[in-house]
């Protein structure tokens, strides 16, 4: 590609990231360090660590993150290993179903989870118990829900890593006399460590700062919820900014450490594994045995969502202290579609997500092109920049966008222009910032999938087109894009699904009801006494069905390559 | 249709390596020209400069009267056959071949006809609707060739086109490529590291080494009259022996060698008395057995190892000089064999087969 085009894309990326990523972060950091009289101060930061409530919140968040990462590992490692070594009846189906929880919003699942494990829920009714499962152990519920939603990311990473281990490495180990557990511990595990850390880092950062699940589970003593609650006093209280900064530091620090320790070159094998494992075929009882853990995990991962489905079909107040709802109805769906808040929220979410995805496709392909096909020296930097949003929690970004919006709204220019107000003032219209937030935060997935596609497509194919007289844009349209379509669709679907389910930005930035996205509406409905929870469940089911279709579609299109999207 | 291609002082650098170092060459219209050299010699870089995938830092590339140095690849009208074939996997064979015509806005009917003709030329008509991944390596190679030919390019560029084929197919395809190029009257530039390919197919060839042209000429010229140790050693096999010039008289050079006084009946131009030189003598130029009377260039040696190949035996002969030099001798229709035993023999060479080279430019 031409140098001038490459530089233009690089400059454009710098501009977009400067405004949509660095500017918000700088404002968050500034707010945390600058006192009311304009001087630099550490008093807010120190204040956070002096305040026992904040310290408890941070420690609890750490506990959630560690617990979630460990649980997700315990779930996904054995499954990934089984799937790598064996084939058995039903494997394809369970492999696809295993990924479904990824796009089922855990915070929606939390509604069903409470119906099942609540004091007057299914489990107690079934066994005639009266245990308050979610009383003191509420945090364990959050960990369970989060690991059930996040284990697919680890599973995809571990599967990809295992698939990349050259069979010869394994045979060499056996040749030297190492078998079974020793072989796994000394050879396989070290080789898949980079893959594990790549996925583990994402899971850790995600669960460390997850807002939706603890919020619905009413687990208020963690940092994310504390930050969200403090939103009401923003402007008068600088401590939330300092707290957000601590979360940012932990996340970025972890990301950088995993980058340093397991840089892309660590344990790099010569491209793909030269010899892959011949999967051992299991039939009959053995096949069933291998299938069982998959089915169990899928069952437990989907259980909260079954709870949501049941809730959505239960008449308000008709499911209390019984195993199943006593009064069935489809009225919640009717009401959900009739409710003015829900209809507009579906329209809003679709619009915002589609715009974000369109932006991401164009921008992601352009960035990937420079990264893979240009000889620009800064292309590594560009790649790193495009991946950075993975390291920054959504909560932090949301806070940053709020700060950007209020900063810009206070300028003379904006105050005098209705037109500009509609763009930059989230209180007037949050559409611009929501689309920007959705785009920037999901861009890494798009870039990764486009990069993967381009790397699999030999540059010779484009050169052949140029050689035969195709100008660059024609070559892009006729040769490159058709060849990476599968990657683009998968990346786009994923970015779309995640945008539809986005919690932090949606909850914080959308402040007017007519601009609520689905997630904010579900949260608001859930807060309503009486019918709210049931309508929220119906809306959640609608979103889940919609997204399940998108993900199944993308996994069919991309198969195993889906794992490449979740590399840090 | 066919045009000349000329390179004038072309330079291309990657980082700190100079891949192409002031190369000038002229390829005549309709000529089948080879760029030959070991990997890393700059031959592929040079070809990609001609195709327009690299822009040289300095120098000029001309096709016919047109200076194409700064022209992007898609405006150069060259047809390139890639080493990996680069067939588009999402298009059928026919669509692959038709692509270049489509870019040239050729009408539907003519396109169909020309695609048919091109596929017939490479004997692939029955595979027109197949996808590339349903074809064998040799078939893909033919399609790649048809795709490059169908646009009637100003110049056909071939980048190691046969390196991914097995030995038998390689032999078949190299005569095939020559036939097609000659039939179409194309100017073609062919990159390879296989000297046999170059010798058997080229009209002319250039031997490249370290980004410069060591020698350029017809295959026979380069083989028989190498101008440097590299050219002599890279094309065919040869024996190098050290010697000193004793006297130059017209077209004869009298040489002082460890085997005694030898002569070379090559041009003595550029050599002076007392100059240390290196002799290059092809293994097949050596003869074993009693030399005809009056033969100057002879030596006693011991045949200590033989590879017997039927029509030829490849002997290793230790010369009876102090340095203990070892030479390789190809003996056609062999009589002497030394597989497990050593055998004394006399070996001789005609004066016209002794090539005298400057020392130290290997």
Q: What is the pLDDT of residues A461-475, one digit of tens each?
A: 999 999 999 998 899
Contact assessment for residue A555 and residue A497, using Cβ atoms and an 8 Å cutoff: no
Q: Smallest CA–CA separation between A548 and chain B, in Å?
A: 29
- Three-class SS string for A477-527? HHHHHHHHHHHHHHHHHHHHHHHHCCCHHHHHHCCCHHHCCHHHHHHHHHH
Q: Which pairs from A273-276 meet CB under 8 Å and 24+ separation?
A: A273/A163, A273/A164, A273/A165, A273/A166, A273/A167, A274/A166, A274/A168, A275/A166, A275/A167, A275/A168, A276/A163, A276/A167
CA distance A201 to B20: 46
Chain B residues within 8 A of A466 when measuring between CB atoms: 52-53, 72-74
Q: Which of A461, A467, A470 sits opposite B51 (nearest CB)?
A: A467
Q: Which of A460, A468, A478 sits opposite B84 (nearest CB)?
A: A460
Most confident of A159-173, A192-206, A323-337, B312-326: A192-206
Position B6 pLDDT exceeds 60 = yes
Q: Which of A461, A464, A475 sits opposite B80 (nearest CB)?
A: A464
- Three-class SS string for A14-77? HHHHHHHHHHHHHHHHHHHHECCCCCECCHHHHHHHHCHHHHHHHHHHHHHHHHHHHHHHHHHH
Q: What is the pLDDT of residues A515-541, one digit of tens each?
A: 899 889 888 888 887 778 888 888 888
Position A190 pLDDT exceeds 60 = yes
Position B154 pLDDT exceeds 70 = yes
Nearest-by-CA chain B residue for A470: B74
> Could you tell me if B14 lies within 8 Å of chain A, comparing CB atoms?
no
Position A273 pLDDT exceeds 70 = no
Work out the pLDDT band at B218, boundaries 50, 70, 90. Answer: very high
Phi/psi for B346 (5° steps) reads: -105, 140
Q: What is the mean pLDDT of chain A?
A: 82
Q: Smallest CA–CA separation between A475 and chain B, in Å?
A: 10
Optimal mutation site among A375, A464, A474, interface B, most CBs of chain B within 10 A:
A464
Contact assessment for residue A165 and residue A191, using Cβ atoms and an 8 Å cutoff: yes
Phi/psi for A372 (5° steps) reads: -90, -40
Q: What is the mean pLDDT of chain B?
A: 89
CA distance A138 to A564: 34
Tell me whether strands B326-332 and B312-319 are parallel, antiparallel or unpaired.
antiparallel
CA end-to-end span of chain A, whole Å?
A: 26
Position A567 pLDDT exceeds 60 = no
Interchain proximity A467–B73, CB inside 8 Å:
yes
Pick from A83, A84, A114: nearest CA to A98: A83
pLDDT at B69: 93
> What would the DSSP string read from start to end of B19-39?
EEEEEEEEE-TT-EEEEE--T
Query: Which residues neighbour B299 within 8 Å (Cβ) at sequence distance 6 or greater?
Result: B259, B260, B319, B320, B321, B346, B347, B348
DSSP state of A476: I
b/e B315-354 (16+ beta carbons within 10 angstroms → b)? bbbebeeeeebebbbbbeebeeebeeeeeebebbbbbebb
Q: Tell me the three state secondary structure of residue A167.
A: helix
pLDDT at A558: 61
Position A269 pLDDT exceeds 50 = no
Query: Which residues neighbour A257 within 8 Å (Cβ) at sequence distance 6 or greater?
Result: none
Query: Which residues neighbour A365 within 8 Å (Cβ) at sequence distance 6 or greater?
Result: A446, A450, A481, A484, A488
> What would the DSSP string read from start to end of A216-254?
HTT--SSHHHHHHHHGGGBTTB-HHHHHHHHHHHHHHHH
DSSP state of B291: P
Q: Which of A460, A470, A482 sits opposite B86 (nearest CB)?
A: A460
Nearest-by-CA chain B residue for A480: B88
pLDDT at A270: 37
Phi/psi for A346 (5° steps) reads: -60, -45
Q: Tell me the three state secondary structure of residue B357.
A: strand
CA distance A324 to A307: 10
Position A438 pLDDT exceeds 50 = yes
How many CB pairs lie under 8 A apart between chains A and B? 66
CA distance B341 to B296: 29
pLDDT at A66: 95
pLDDT at B285: 93
Contact assessment for residue B114 and residue B89, using Cβ atoms and an 8 Å cutoff: no
Residue A501 has which token pair? 């389910």
> Could you tell me if A467 lies within 8 Å of chain B, comparing CB atoms?
yes
Q: Tell me the three state secondary structure of residue A371.
A: helix
CA distance B60 to A340: 71
Chain A residues within 8 A of B99 when measuring between CB atoms: 465, 468, 470, 478
Work out the pLDDT band at A69, boundaries 50, 70, 90. Answer: very high
CA distance A47 to A54: 9
CA distance B237 to B243: 19
Q: Which domains does chain B carry?
A: 5-232 (3.40.50.300), 237-358 (2.40.50.140)
Interchain proximity A468–B147, CB inside 8 Å:
yes
CA distance B42 to A128: 82
Please give the helix or strand (H or E) that residue B281 lies within, else none: strand B276-281
Q: Tell me the three state secondary structure of residue B6.
A: strand
Residue A450 has which token pair? 């486009």
Across the strands, what pairs with B299?
A: B347
The mean pLDDT of A89-110, rounded to a whole number, is: 81
Measured CA to CA in angstroms, residue A451 lies from A273, A368, A372, A459, A494 at distances of 20, 5, 7, 13, 15
Percent helix / strand / coil, chain B, rounded to 5: 25, 35, 40
Please give the helix or strand (H or E) that residue B5 lies within, else none: strand B5-14
The mean pLDDT of A543-551, rounded to a whole number, is: 77
Contact assessment for residue A79 and residue A526, using Cβ atoms and an 8 Å cutoff: no
Tokens 């904006």 correspond to A414
Pick from A15, A32, A35: nearest CA to A23: A15
pLDDT at A268: 41
Query: Is the complex ipTM higher than 0.90?
Result: no
The mean pLDDT of A504-515, rounded to a whole number, is: 86
The mean pLDDT of A246-270, rounded to a whole number, is: 71
CB atoms within 10 A of CB B308: 14
Interchain proximity B84–A458, CB inside 8 Å:
yes
Pick from A351, A339, A302: nearest CA to A500: A351
Most confident of A156-160, A306-310, A383-387, B282-286: B282-286
Please give the helix or strand (H or E) that residue A10 lies within, else none: helix A3-17
- Residue with the larger pLDDT of the pair B314 and A160: B314
Opening angle at CA B167, ends B162 and B168, nearest 5: 105
pLDDT at A263: 59
pLDDT at B32: 95
Tell me whether strands B188-192 and B287-288 are parallel, antiparallel or unpaired.
unpaired
CB atoms within 10 A of CB A389: 22
Work out the pLDDT band at A60, boundaries 50, 70, 90. Answer: very high
CA B308 to centroid of chain Cα atoms: 27
Helix runs in A86-137, H state only = 91-97, 106-117, 122-127
Interchain proximity B52–A466, CB inside 8 Å:
yes
pLDDT at A75: 93
Nearest-by-CA chain B residue for A473: B74
Interchain proximity B151–A468, CB inside 8 Å:
yes
Query: Which residues neighbour A441 within 8 Å (Cβ) at sequence distance 6 or greater?
Result: A389, A394, A397, A498, A502, A505
Task: Report the share of chain B in percent with pLDDT over 90.
Answer: 56
Helix runs in B10-107, H state only = 43-51, 93-103
Phi/psi for B147 (5° steps) reads: -65, -35
- Residue with the larger pLDDT of the pair B38 and A40: B38
> Could you tell me if A471 lies within 8 Å of chain B, comparing CB atoms?
yes
Q: Tell me the three state secondary structure of residue B297.
A: coil
Pick from A539, A519, A537: nearest CA to A339: A539
Residue A183 has which token pair? 């072989």
Residues composing chain B: 362
Measured CA to CA in angstroms, residue B200 lies from B25, B168, B182, B236 at distances of 21, 15, 14, 12
Task: Report the share of chain A in percent with pLDDT over 90.
Answer: 16
Q: Smallest CA–CA separation between A449 and chain B, in Å?
A: 19
Contact assessment for residue A216 and residue A145, using Cβ atoms and an 8 Å cutoff: no
Nearest-by-CA chain A residue for B149: A468
Lowest mean pLDDT among A416-425, B64-73, B77-86, B279-288: A416-425
pLDDT at B111: 95
CA distance B168 to B315: 27
Please give the helix or strand (H or E) that residue B239 lies within, else none: strand B239-249
> Could you tell me if A4 lies within 8 Å of chain B, comparing CB atoms?
no
Q: Tell me the three state secondary structure of residue B2.
A: coil
Interchain proximity B72–A466, CB inside 8 Å:
yes
> Could you tell me if A131 lies within 8 Å of chain B, comparing CB atoms?
no
Position A248 pLDDT exceeds 60 = yes
Work out the pLDDT band at A568, boundaries 50, 70, 90. Answer: very low
> Could you tell me if B222 lies within 8 Å of chain A, comparing CB atoms?
no
Residue B309 has which token pair? 């190949």
Work out the pLDDT band at B45, boundaries 50, 70, 90. Answer: very high
Work out the pLDDT band at A410, boundaries 50, 70, 90. Answer: confident
Q: Is A204 exposed, middle or buried (0-12, 13-18, 19+ CB in 10 A)?
A: buried
Q: What is the pLDDT of residues B107-116, one digit of tens each?
A: 999 999 999 9
- Integer-rounded Cα Rg, in Å, for chain A is 24
């Amino acid at each position: 590609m031409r140098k001038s085009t490459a530089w233009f894309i690089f400059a454009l990326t710098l501009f977009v990231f400067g405004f949509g990523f660095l500017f918000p972060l700088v404002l968050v950091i500034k707010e945390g360090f600058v006192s009311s009289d304009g001087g630099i101060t550490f008093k807010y930061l120190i204040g956070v660590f002096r305040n026992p409530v904040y310290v408890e919140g941070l420690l609890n968040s750490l506990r959630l993150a560690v617990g979630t990462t460990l649980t997700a590992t315990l779930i996904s490692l054995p499954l990934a290993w089984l799937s790598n070594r064996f084939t058995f009846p039903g494997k394809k189906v369970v492999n696809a179903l295993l990924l479904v929880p990824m796009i089922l919003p855990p915070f929606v699942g939390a509604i069903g989870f409470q119906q099942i494990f609540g004091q007057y829920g299914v489990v107690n009714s079934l066994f005639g118990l009266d245990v308050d499962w979610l009383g003191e152990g509420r945090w364990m519920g959050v960990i369970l829900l989060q690991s059930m939603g996040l284990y697919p990311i680890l599973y995809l990473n571990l599967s990809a890593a295992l698939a990349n281990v050259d069979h010869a490495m394994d045979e060499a180990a056996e040749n030297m006399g190492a078998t079974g557990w020793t072989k796994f511990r000394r050879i396989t595990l070290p080789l898949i460590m980079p893959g594990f850390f790549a996925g583990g880092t994402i899971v850790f950062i995600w669960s460390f700062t997850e807002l939706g699940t603890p919020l619905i589970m009413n687990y208020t003593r963690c940092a994310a919820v504390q930050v969200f609650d403090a939103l009401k006093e923003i402007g008068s209280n600088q401590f939330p900014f300092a707290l957000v900064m601590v979360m940012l530091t932990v996340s970025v620090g972890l990301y950088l450490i995993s980058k340093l320790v397991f840089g892309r070159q660590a344990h790099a094998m010569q491209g793909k594994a030269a010899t892959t494992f011949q999967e051992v075929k299991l039939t009959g009882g053995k096949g069933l045995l291998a299938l069982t853990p998959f089915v169990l995990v899928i069952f437990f991962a989907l259980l909260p969502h079954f709870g949501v489905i049941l809730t959505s079909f239960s008449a308000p107040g008709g499911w209390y202290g019984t195993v199943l709802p006593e009064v069935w109805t489809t009225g919640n769906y009717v009401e959900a579609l009739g409710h003015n808040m829900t209809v507009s929220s579906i329209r809003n979410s679709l619009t915002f997500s589609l715009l974000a995805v369109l932006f991401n496709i164009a921008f992601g392909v352009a960035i990937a092109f420079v990264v893979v096909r240009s000889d620009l020296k800064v292309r590594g930097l560009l790649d790193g920049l495009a991946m950075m949003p993975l390291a920054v929690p959504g909560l932090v970004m949301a806070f940053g966008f709020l700060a950007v919006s209020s900063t810009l709204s206070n300028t003379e220019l904006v105050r005098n222009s209705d037109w500009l107000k509609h763009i930059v003032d989230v209180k007037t219209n949050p559409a611009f910032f929501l689309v920007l937030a959705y785009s920037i935060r999901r861009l890494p997935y798009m870039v990764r999938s486009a990069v993967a596609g381009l790397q699999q497509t030999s540059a010779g194919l484009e050169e052949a087109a140029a050689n035969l007289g195709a100008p660059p844009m024609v070559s892009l349209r006729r040769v490159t894009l058709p060849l990476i379509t599968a990657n683009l669709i998968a990346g786009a679907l994923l970015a779309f699904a995640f945008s539809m389910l986005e919690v932090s930005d949606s909850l914080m930035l959308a402040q007017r009801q007519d601009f609520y996205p689905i997630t904010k509406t579900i949260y608001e409905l859930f807060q309503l006494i009486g019918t709210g929870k049931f309508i929220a469940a119906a809306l959640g089911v609608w979103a889940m069905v919609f997204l399940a279709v998108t993900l199944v579609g993308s996994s069919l299109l991309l198969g195993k390559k889906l794992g490449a999207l979740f590399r840090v | 249709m066919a045009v000349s291609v000329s390179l004038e002082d072309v330079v291309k650098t990657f980082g700190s390596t100079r891949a192409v170092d002031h190369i000038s060459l002229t390829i005549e219209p309709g000529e089948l020209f080879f760029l030959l050299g070991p990997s890393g010699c700059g031959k592929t870089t040079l070809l990609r400069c001609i195709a327009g995938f690299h822009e040289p830092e300095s120098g000029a590339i001309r096709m016919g009267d047109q200076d194409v140095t700064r022209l992007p690849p898609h405006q150069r009208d060259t047809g390139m056959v890639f080493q990996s074939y680069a067939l588009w996997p999402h298009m059928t064979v026919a669509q692959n071949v038709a692509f270049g015509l489509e870019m040239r806005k050729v009408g539907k009917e003519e396109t169909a006809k020309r695609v048919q003709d091109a596929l017939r030329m490479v004997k692939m008509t029955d595979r027109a609707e197949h996808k590339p991944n349903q074809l064998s390596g040799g078939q893909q190679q033919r399609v790649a060739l048809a795709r490059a030919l169908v646009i009637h390019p100003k110049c056909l560029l071939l980048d190691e086109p046969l390196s991914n084929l097995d030995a038998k197919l390689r032999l078949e395809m190299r005569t095939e490529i020559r036939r097609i190029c000659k039939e179409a009257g194309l100017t073609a530039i062919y990159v390879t590291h296989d000297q046999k390919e170059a010798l058997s197919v080229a009209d002319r060839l250039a031997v490249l080494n370290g980004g410069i042209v060591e020698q350029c000429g017809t295959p026979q010229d380069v083989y028989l009259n190498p101008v440097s140790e590299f050219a002599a050693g890279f094309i065919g096999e040869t024996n190098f022996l050290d010697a000193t010039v004793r006297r130059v008289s017209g077209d004869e050079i009298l040489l002082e060698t460890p085997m005694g006084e030898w002569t070379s009946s090559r041009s003595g131009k550029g050599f002076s008395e007392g100059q240390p030189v290196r002799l290059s003598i092809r293994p097949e130029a050596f003869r074993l057995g009693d030399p005809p009377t009056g033969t100057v260039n002879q030596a006693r040696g011991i045949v200590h190892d033989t590879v017997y190949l039927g029509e030829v035996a490849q002997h290793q002969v230790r010369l009876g000089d102090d340095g203990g030099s070892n030479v390789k001798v190809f003996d056609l229709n062999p009589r002497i064999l030394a597989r497990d035993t050593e055998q004394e023999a006399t070996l001789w060479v005609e004066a016209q087969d002794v090539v005298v080279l400057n020392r130290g430019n290997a």
